[in-house]
Chains A and B, each alone.
Chain A
Amino acid sequence: DAGVTQSPTHLIKTRGQQVTLRCSPKSGHDTVSWYQQALGQGPQFIFQYYEEEERQRGNFPDRFSGHQFPNYSSELNVNALLLGDSALYLCASSLIPGGAHNEQFFGPGTRLTVL
C-alpha cells in the first residue's frame, strides 16, 4: 500500500521564478493538505483540497495556489518566489475532511531552495 508520495525531492529556484510541487495521496485517500516548514520551525498549514476545490486555507498570500485532479493527486504552485519561500513543503492526505478520524498521513516533503 503506497503511502503519500511527493515530487521532486529537492528543487532549486531563483527569486521571481514560479514552481510546481506534486503530491499523490495515500491509496484510498481523497483529501490533500499542504504545509510549509521553514528551517527550525513547525509545519504551517497552507491549504486543503477536497473534491477538486480548495476547502480551507491558512494565512498564505495568493502567490500560493493549488489544484487537485480527479485522481485526488494535487499540485502546489508558488509564483514570484521570494527567498523566504525556502522551506520543506509537506503534503498530507486523509480520507474524509473534517471527520472525527481525520488522521493525516504525511509525505517525505519537497525541499525548495530559493536563491
Chain B
Amino acid sequence: DAMVIQNPRYQVTQFGKPVTLSCSQTLNHNVMYWYQQKSSQAPKLLFHYYDKDFNNEADTPDNFQSRRPNTSFCFLDIRSPGLGDAAMYLCATSRVTSVGETQYFGPGTRLLVL
C-alpha cells in the first residue's frame, strides 16, 4: 500500500538527453514537492505545487521543469541533463493544515548521467 510512488527507481540517461521522472500519490494531498539530494548533502527543494500553483525555488536551474496534470501525478523533466545533475530525486507530498504539514516521501529515483 505504497502512498508515494516514484518511477523508475533508477534511471540512466546520456549527457544532454531529456529525461522525465514521475511521481504519483494515493494520499490525495494538495502539495507535491521535488527535491534533489546528492551524496552527503541535505535534500534540496527544487519546486513544489500547492494544488495547481507552481512555485519554483530561486536557485533551481532552468533546465528543470515540472508538470502536475492532476492531484495524483507530478513529473520532473530535465531538459538537458549534465553530469552535475546525477543525484537522487525525491518526491514528497503533504496536506497543509492550519498548524503545519507533514511531508511523506517516495523512495526516490536515482539518476545517472553518462
Binding between chains A and B: no
Q: Which residues of A contact B (CB under 8 A)?
A: none
Q: Which residues of B contact A (CB under 8 A)?
A: none
